[in-house]
Structure 1
Amino acid sequence: MLDPVRPASKPPEQDDAFRPSLPEVYASVHVPTGGRWIRRFLAFAGPGYMISVGYMDPGNWATDITGGSRFGYTLLTVILLSNLMAILLQALAVRLGVATGRDLAQACRDHYSKPVNFALWLACEAAIVACDLAEVIGTAIALQLLFGIPLIAGALLTALDAFLLLLLINKGFRLLEAFVIALLVVIASCFALQIAAAAPPLADVLRGFVPSPRIVADREMLYVAIGILGATVMPHNLYLHSSIVQTRAYGKSVRARRAAIRWATLDSTIALTLALFINAAILIVAAAVFHASGHDEVAEIGDAFHLLSPLLGLGVASTLFAVALLASGLNSTVTATLAGQIVMEGFLRLRIPNWARRLITRAIAIVPVIVVTAIYGEKGTGQLLVLSQVILSMQLPFAVIPLVRFVSDRRKMGVFAVSRWTSGLAWLVAGVIVVLNVKLLADTLLS
């Protein structure tokens, strides 16, 4: 069990079996105990933005472009609901990490048997590879669109980002967070300009946020909707967030940990609101530019790039699109690497050098991209990108259910256990995820 002898109100560092998550940066960021509230908030600002990267990676682009071009603004409601689910689940991940001093992988290792832990590790590794697959494709496409680099060569070049992460993390965790936030600003700025140029009808946009029964009734729309869900609520982000929140030196007392949970949750909520804006912006641009002009079959990022400037009447629109895509791909590599390290160390207690871990994961993702590109051409990569997001969605229950179970158990969380209302809402979210995945699987097999 997750250390039932030690109540969560006791500092985790007093446990003989305590092993910090990401020990090289554990409690490395100072948190002021006095002064103005803004100083304490800024001390906790950062992990939420690193988490938000996973909610706007290249996989989101594929599903959002497909959803916007085919179905107009209808799937905006899926983006909104997915983001609300993400805000709740990431808040639970924060609570687990701060209250117990364990990340989600370590908590699973403490609680479940070895066979179950091995199965959960495999499921999470599959999610990380699927996420990495999306990053490889997105970054390679961006390099091709901006610099004319062939897709296969661009995919091979993405292996070099392992060294970028090493350089940044060796300079300190705050520098890594600053790098991520800077790229997020680039992405948000690019899409703010495109939204302004597209000038979508406000009434249609607002109507898109209203749930429609068509989403469940239409199998093709449901497939894309679950792809959006998989691209938005990322299973490995739950492991990552429960770990990197512990980079803050927030103190050992119950009061200090309560404050840490409050500030870290505020940080992730603000960051995920930014992710909501960017995901919605991608779909809105696709709906306003492609769907409205009759180009409802635009599903490839490359097609969107070539059509965006002519249809929008803004020469720089396509370049902004590609720059944002490149920034998204680079950003996502950071979080996927850290998540892989956390999962491997938490479940298996196996430590390998970060560069080796990154190159292994990236090699597994590069191979299918090269094979699909060689056999089916560039069109195949777009379908592979959407498929990777559906795979991510299928892995969600294996991360969500243990998380909700742990934070609801007072024997494990002590005074930090969530309320019955929050627990019920979290179980409802987990149930919705499971039901949607079962329906998708049944429809896919029957078809």
Structure 2
Amino acid sequence: MSSGMFRPHGSGDTLACEVPLSPRPPLPPAARPFSLRRLLGFLGPGYLIAVGYMDPGNWATDLAGGSTYGYALLWIVMLSSAMAMFLQVLAARLGIVTGLDLAQACRAHSRPGSVVWQWLLCEIAICAADLAEVIGTAIALKLLFGLPLAMGVSLTVLDVLLVLWLQQRGFRYLEALVISLISIVVVCLGITVAMAQPQWQAVFAGFVPTSRTVLDPGMLYIAIGIIGATVMPHNLYLHSSAVKSRPADPGAGGKKVAITYATIDIIAALALAFVINASILVMAGAAFHANGQFQVAELEDAHGLLAVMTGTTVAGTTFALALLASGQSSAVTATLAGQIVMEGYLQLRIPPWVRRLLTRSIAIVPALFVTLVYGESAIAKLLIASQVVLSLQLPFAIVPLIRYTSQRSIMGSFANGRTTAIVAALIATTIIVLNLVLIWRTLT
């Protein structure tokens, strides 16, 4: 057989006409299997958001619910957490799909004359949130070290240095700090709840609504407070921006994958926040309600009674330490939210430490004034007032978020479907109406 004749495979020679196999093209992002390693890269923004759902304002409503009605309102804590998860997922979708955070979207799709007013209202809400953190931190410093409230309020300005140092090192360092502080809260509250010795069968029964919890006027009022203190408007601005720190693959497939991982992140983080809020209510139910203390709503009262009811100072100390960690972690996220809002609405960028100093100074002034003029007993009323201000700002964050994420001209194929839009509208209406009722009841 001549050398030019065809030779079959397996003859030991390489065919001159053979074409080498080309490498298999990579799968599109949407077709790639779930990757735990990639998920870990997306974790972080959710925990920045979660601290806003466990700030000192939430502690007060959870303490009131647990001490007054035991475990009966645990289902309200669970419901409000589910509402928060839904809205935060919408905020993440907006940031990933459009590349705009909520403040930038409001600027892009609002009339120029209304942009400044929207920014001012949002700034007031952020200062109100920071006020709650100032009060909570000052109370924690008093409980731990015996510092007067006025001195504790003044010392809170020092966390500007911490935020400045961390922001210079990078966004991941801020996330690491927040996660570390959340871990302290979880451990301390776990110890406190264990020492309170709750009745676990009754605890699990509290997650099921009953006619009494729905129709009782007193329960309804505290339930409104729990829901009203849960969803924080500045968290929606912050989350829609924080998700942009995680790069997504180009195209619709890449955005879909990024939304999936971001959704897992926020659900896991807010599930942890739910556990913390539920733990505060369970602790109050076991330590106070079960022992006949039905009107414990102030943080200082809770600290003192814990030592009496549990027979040891450890429970009170861990409670105060968790409060301190909660206030500090919330302060970090309030700073980030303020920077995002200012840049988004006004396209004005100032050094983070200047921004932090301005926000904290505005929060310190009313806290110092109330403490020095009306005494330390009035500080709890100021904490309630800060939550009322936050409630007033909620519609200006929730309504635009739902409107923008429902428009195909903005979101394209990622726009909310009919069912999602209806659920979102129901949640927004419920939260807004309940907050208005809470404000009216508080003022009257």
Give the secondary structure class of the aligned counterpart of 2:291. coil
CA contact (8 A) 2:125 2:393 kept: yes
**TM-superposed deviation, 1:231:** 2.3
Q: In the aligned structure 2, how far is the partner of 1:80 from the partner of 1:350?
A: 38
Q: 1:262 is matched by which residue type in structure 2?
A: T
Give the secondary structure class of the aligned counterpart of 1:142. helix
1:199-348 correspondence runs (5 A): 199-212=197-210, 221-348=219-346
CA contact (8 A) 1:55 1:275 kept: yes
1:386-397 correspondence runs (5 A): 386-397=384-395
Deviation digits for residues 17-71 of structure 1, max 9, x if unmatched? xxxxxxxxxxxxxx9x989711101000100011001011111112211222123
**TM-superposed deviation, 1:422:** 1.1
Counterpart among 358, 367, 375 of residue 360 in structure 1: 358
Give the secondary structure class of the aligned counterpart of 1:316. helix
Partner residue in 1 for 2:16:
none
Greater shift, 220-229 or 402-411, is seen at: 220-229
Kindly tell me: are residues 231 and 438 of structure 1, through their superposed partners in 2, closer, same or farther at Cα, counting changes over 3 Å? closer
CA contact (8 A) 2:228 2:435 kept: no
**TM-superposed deviation, 1:208:** 2.5
CA contact (8 A) 1:227 1:389 kept: no
Q: 1:302 is matched by which residue type in structure 2?
A: E
Q: 2:364 is matched by which residue type in structure 1?
A: I
Same amino acid, percent of matched pairs: 56
CA contact (8 A) 1:99 1:257 kept: yes
CA contact (8 A) 2:228 2:431 kept: no
Partner residue in 1 for 2:378:
380
Q: Which has the larger radius of gyration?
A: 2
**TM-superposed deviation, 1:315:** 3.3
CA contact (8 A) 1:227 1:390 kept: no
Q: 1:68 is matched by which residue type in structure 2?
A: G
Deviation digits for residues 263-291 of structure 1, max 9, x if unmatched? 01100100000000000101110111111
1:23-422 correspondence runs (5 A): 37-212=35-210, 221-422=219-420
Give the secondary structure class of the aligned counterpart of 1:250. coil
Kindly tell me: are residues 444 and 161 of structure 1, through their superposed partners in 2, closer, same or farther at Cα, counting changes over 3 Å? closer
Kindly tell me: are residues 181 and 406 of structure 1, through their superposed partners in 2, closer, same or farther at Cα, counting changes over 3 Å? same
Give the secondary structure class of the aligned counterpart of 1:292. helix
Q: In the aligned structure 2, how far is the partner of 1:199 from the partner of 1:104?
A: 43
Q: In the aligned structure 2, how far is the partner of 1:115 from the partner of 1:230?
A: 29
Kindly tell me: are residues 244 and 252 of structure 1, through their superposed partners in 2, closer, same or farther at Cα, counting changes over 3 Å? same
Q: 2:299 is matched by which residue type in structure 1?
A: I
Q: In the aligned structure 2, how far is the partner of 1:69 from the partner of 1:274?
A: 22
Q: In the aligned structure 1, how far is the partner of 2:193 from the partner of 2:442?
A: 35
Q: In the aligned structure 2, how far is the partner of 1:326 from the partner of 1:316?
A: 15
- TM-score using structure 1 length: 0.88
Give the secondary structure class of the aligned counterpart of 2:229. helix
Q: 2:127 is matched by which residue type in structure 1?
A: V
Kindly tell me: are residues 400 and 224 of structure 1, through their superposed partners in 2, closer, same or farther at Cα, counting changes over 3 Å? same
Greater shift, 398-407 or 302-311, is seen at: 302-311
Q: In the aligned structure 1, how far is the partner of 2:442 from the partner of 2:324?
A: 32
**TM-superposed deviation, 1:294:** 1.4
